[in-house]
Copies of this chain bind each other. A is one copy, B any other.
Amino acid sequence: MPAYDKFYSRLAVGIKASDIRELLAIIKHRKDVISFAGGIPDPKLFPKSELADIAREVILKYGDDALQYSETKGLIELRETLSDFMRRTKGIQTDAEDLIITTGSQQALDIVARGMIDPGDVVVTENPSYLAAIGAFKIAGAKLVGVEMDEHGMDTHKLEEKLRSLKNSGERVKFIYTIPVGHNPAGTSLTLDRKKHIIELAEEYDVMVVEDDPYSYIIYEDGADTTPLKAIDKYGRVIYLSTVSKVLAPGLRIGWIAAIDDLTRKFELVKQYLDLHSPTLTQFIVAEAVKKGLIDRMVKVATPYYKSKRDAMLSAMEDYLPDYVDYTKPIGGLFIFVKVDKEGFNTTKLLEVAITKYKIAYVPGASFFVDGTGHNTMRINFSYPTFDEIYEGVRRLSALIKNE
């Protein structure tokens, strides 16, 4: 056999299998390990019988189209449905013509990356930020510049400083990437003032904003502001990404980009080379599901359910974790971010011990930081584990933190 490595692109050479990913892949098959590592919905909530009926119905009724090739941008029925849905639930005024249906949010990130980033371009993100977004931007060649966060997410005064210094040093900033609500991994949400500030800064420094919003439908506190930046963007600066993964079912892989003007057309052309179009069948299913109110219903059911899990997790943390451990209290999303203020405590190095000795898994926080920091942090998911696992898992986590 030939030595295959000579056939790799530089991109392929640069992508390494991550040890953490390998470790976390193994635990999927180990029933004795409690995992807080995933970011996945509780399958109990999937509206299975309704989706089964919808799937059958769309194939029988629209099979000639639902099983055939379709438009690169996505089914017009789905784009119109989602355009209405965003208007009704989020106040976002994006015409169906400016929507592009993607294979989950991940493909939306890849399309944005490929359509906008050249090697050396700067992307400004929250620090920490979503692992797979960082990855998509990096393989497109982006330099990532992180902005400090506090309990309300990205500190926009620090953002302003960064933008100013990047401008002064002649860097080409393409966009600010933000997860405004239920931040992954930090669990924070931006205040309305900060959202406005980000948009003003985008206009002032002539950069775009990529708003990644998978979580804002599931909000645990009354009165929390969940206005999308896209809804208050008067300058045409915001590209908005969302998905049905957390509010219907991730296995359908339906996400979308609410783009703008010429960018829509470019993103469409990029997507054409990626996969021609996302599956027609799953698009038909999601269009029907949204029309039938399945997402509205799932949000109603999921919100109190995940809230009770969040509360269980926070309560277990209060009971078990020593006082040098700090953690966020998220108003939305699926994650709590934990910081251990103990000399030399390194969650990356400890993951293997955590799994093998303490039978508990998390995602080491360092993976989410763009500046090599965060070794004493970890991301904890509360949507997937059962209540028993939440309590028992936090107890194990506490033992890990105290003993290691």
Contacts and interface: CB of A to CB of B under 8 A. Distances in A.
Contacts of A350: none
Given A9-B116, A115-B12, A117-B9, A64 B46 contact: yes
Interface residues of A, number: 86
Contacts of A60: 48-49, 52
B118 A10 contact: yes
A132 B276 contact: yes
Interface string A41-84: 10100101101110111011001111111100000000000000
B7 A103 contact: no
A104 interface: yes
A193 to B, nearest CB: 23
A272 B131 CA distance: 12
Contacts of A104: 275-276
A79 B262 CA distance: 39
Contacts of A110: 273-275
Contacts of A176: none
A253 B235 contact: no
Q: Which among A16, A117, A139, A275 has the greatest number of chain B C-beta atoms within 10 A?
A: A275
B270 A12 contact: yes
A139 B110 CA distance: 14
A223 B322 CA distance: 76
B9 A206 contact: no
Given A55-B52, A68-B251, A136 B273 contact: yes
Contacts of A117: 9
Contacts of A263: 4, 7
B276 A279 contact: no
Contacts of A249: 67-68, 281
A1 interface: yes
Interface string A336-373: 00000000000000000000000000000000000000
12 contacts: A1-B236, A2-B206, A7-B116, A11-B114, A11-B118, A17-B265, A52-B59, A55-B55, A66-B251, A67-B249, A69-B250, A253-B278
